[in-house]
Amino acid sequence: MPGGSEVPPLPSSLPLVARAEAHDDRTAIVAPEGTFTYRDLLDASARVAACLLDGRPDLGESRVAFLAPAGWHYVAAQWGIWRAGGIAVPLATSHPPAELEYVIRDADAEIVLAHPDFAEMVRGLDGAKRARLIWTPQALERTTPHSPLPAVEEGRRAMMVYTSGTTGRPKGVVTTHANLRAQVTSLIAAWEWTVGDAILLVLPLHHVHGIVNVLACALWAGARCEMLAKFDGPRVWGRLADDDLTLFMAVPTIYNKLIAAWEAAPPERQRAYAAGCARLRLMVSGSAALPIRTLERWQAISGHVLLERYGMTEIGMALSNPLRGERRPGFVGTPLPGVEVRLVDEQGRPAQPGTPGEIEVRGPNVFLEYWRRPDATAQAFRDGWFRTGDMAVLEQGAYRILGRTSVDIIKSGGYKISALEIEDVLRAHPAIAECAVVGVEDAEWGERICAAVELRDDVTLALEELQRWAKQRLAPYKVPRALRCVAALPRNAMGKVTKPEVARLFR
């Protein structure tokens, strides 16, 4: 390790960090940069914290936006921000400058901590010019000054993850250290994580599936987390075929892609892949509905009945099929330890048994607030319960997700995407007079982003042209995959665009 362990270990007030002290020489992270123990992580994150503090006693919940590929620098940066008393705001490595700019600005980031891989892009961001810009190698390798780290109470803000909604642009979901502890310990108990576990992380690290369910749970348990910079089907299969992993978690699209990669492999490799899976103790699917055909195909290939669970950025995980016992296809199980779940009708009254209702969630796992949006925060709760916007029904003791209350929330590849946000961007295109964006069911991606547009007079627009333009403004997974140019969008008598009719244009 560069710099050695020059910062003396301090008992930490942060539960995750305090637990790492007990794991010391165990391997914590296997990353493209190398293999690192819990002691390495404590040392490196203390150096990052000292660098961020730069002589101050406490960052006092300043926002630190950080951008690093999945790997060692990411983890050291995240823990360093926490140990310095800052709020960690993960930026997405796949996002174009416009989206990064929005998050840095909305979070009002005081510091931008970035990996040199992104130097050119970050240097061009106005938000980074206004903030203190620090490169991760500089933070990780810093040797002086030794800095006493602040005592960070659990009730303080820890993290802000940006999520799309039905109003406006993405909002920062603020979770405290206590929220994170509740989210993690619930999964540790339900899925029986131990120090003996080893997990392969293939998910992006700007959303809770990767951040909480995989990375934070592994580090809480004292387990080993192996990080791939990016999902790659054959590479993932190669690792699953080795005999040293115990856990795997992914979105349904990733299982679909793994199924396709397995089917494309020669028979002897197929056998090796399947045998590798058999050695894992648990494979989990979530973030979007798991199609029963995916579950069945995966079972036929790997022998695993995928454990499907349900969660959301604002609440971590809420419902899960059992680790032991029957996992019902098409169901997401029962409330996780410490999480209360209820179904309510449109008036907010508990739904009659057996009838559908909106899922509401309560418990220490539920987030604190949307960053600087008190009205949105207030609207998201009813009598202390968080309103998820997802509909479900309780049948024979287990929940089945039926869909969402809003057509404008799309799930594609496991990403939550706001149709309204994309429409706002597309309306700025010089050829587009009006547009409507919908999610259309898709076997591989769950839903595909489709755009219907009314063009201005005398212009044409091709999909490729629109995609090129949109890629500069939107994350790749928000870019439309299909385009219909229409004389007039379908509207109801009130003049409102009828989204189900729009979706029909693409079927």
Using CB under 6 A as the binding rule, whether residue 63 contacts ligand AMP is answered as no
Using CB under 6 A as the binding rule, whether residue 311 contacts ligand AMP is answered as yes
Using CB under 6 A as the binding rule, whether residue 284 contacts ligand MLC is answered as no
Using CB under 6 A as the binding rule, whether residue 193 contacts ligand MLC is answered as no
Residue 333 near which of ligand MLC, ligand AMP, none (CB within 5-8 Å, type-dependent): none
Residue 213 CB partners (closer than 8 Å, separation 6+): 187, 249, 284, 286, 311, 317
CB 172 within 8 A of CB 313: no
CA distances from 76 to 66, 182, 318 (A): 11, 22, 28
- Chain centre to alpha carbon of residue 392: 22
Residue 377 near which of ligand MLC, ligand AMP, none (CB within 5-8 Å, type-dependent): none
Tokens of 421: 């946000």
Residue 412 near which of ligand AMP, ligand MLC, none (CB within 5-8 Å, type-dependent): ligand MLC
Using CB under 6 A as the binding rule, whether residue 311 contacts ligand MLC is answered as yes
DSSP lists the bridge partners of residue 360 as: 342, 387
Q: Find the shortest distance in angstroms from Cβ 231 to ligand MLC.
A: 4
Nearer to ligand AMP, 69 or 204 (CB): 204
Q: Find the shortest distance in angstroms from Cβ 110 to ligand AMP.
A: 26
Residue 254 near which of ligand AMP, ligand MLC, none (CB within 5-8 Å, type-dependent): ligand MLC
Contacts 24+ apart (CB under 8 A), 417-423: 417/164, 417/449, 417/477, 417/478, 418/164, 418/165, 418/166, 418/170, 419/499, 420/166, 420/167, 420/168, 421/164, 421/168, 421/169, 421/170, 421/478, 422/449, 422/451, 422/470, 422/474, 422/478, 422/480
Return d(Cα 169, Cα 10) in angstroms, integer: 40
Nearer to ligand AMP, 66 or 477 (CB): 477
Tokens of 408: 């404008």
Nearer to ligand MLC, 142 or 448 (CB): 448
Q: What binding mask, one character per residue, do residues 175-194 give for ligand AMP by CB under 6 A, x or -?
A: --------------------
Residue from the set 142, 181, 327, 416 that interacts with ligand AMP by CB under 6 A: 416
Amino acid at 440: V
User: Nearest CA to 184 among 226, 156, 223, 227?
Assistant: 223
Nearer to ligand AMP, 276 or 316 (CB): 316
CB 239 within 8 A of CB 248: no
Residue 363 near which of ligand AMP, ligand MLC, none (CB within 5-8 Å, type-dependent): none
Specify the 3-state DSSP secondary structure of 360.
Answer: strand
Return d(Cα 319, Cα 333) in angstroms, integer: 6
Residue from the set 136, 185, 186, 313 that interacts with ligand AMP by CB under 6 A: 313
Of 140-148, 248-256, 361-369, 400-408, the window that binds ligand MLC (rule: CB under 6 A) is: 248-256
Residue from the set 312, 425, 438, 475 that interacts with ligand AMP by CB under 6 A: 312
Amino acid at 180: L
Specify the 3-state DSSP secondary structure of 77.
Answer: helix
Q: Find the shortest distance in angstroms from Cβ 442 to ligand MLC.
A: 7
Query: What stretches of 415-485 show up as alpha helix (H) in DSSP?
Result: 419-426, 463-471
- Phi, psi at residue 225, to the nearest 5°? -115, 120
Nearer to ligand AMP, 62 or 163 (CB): 163
Using CB under 6 A as the binding rule, whether residue 38 contacts ligand MLC is answered as no
Residue from the set 62, 78, 163, 320 that interacts with ligand AMP by CB under 6 A: 163
Nearer to ligand MLC, 1 or 261 (CB): 261
Using CB under 6 A as the binding rule, whether residue 328 contacts ligand MLC is answered as no
Residue from the set 64, 288, 380, 451 that interacts with ligand AMP by CB under 6 A: 288
Sheet-wide strand order for 27-31: 34-37, 27-31, 224-227, 198-201, 247-250, 282-285, 307-312, 316-320, 334-335
Using CB under 6 A as the binding rule, whether residue 399 contacts ligand AMP is answered as no
Using CB under 6 A as the binding rule, whether residue 173 contacts ligand MLC is answered as no
Residue from the set 289, 361, 435, 449 that interacts with ligand AMP by CB under 6 A: 289
CA distances from 419 to 169, 172, 187, 253 (A): 11, 18, 31, 20
Using CB under 6 A as the binding rule, whether residue 388 contacts ligand AMP is answered as yes
Residue 12 near which of ligand MLC, ligand AMP, none (CB within 5-8 Å, type-dependent): none
Residues that bind ligand MLC (CB under 6 A): 203-204, 207-210, 230-231, 251, 253-254, 286-287, 311-313, 412-416, 445, 448, 476-477, 481
Residues that bind ligand AMP (CB under 6 A): 163, 207, 286-289, 308, 310-313, 332, 388, 390, 401, 404, 411, 416
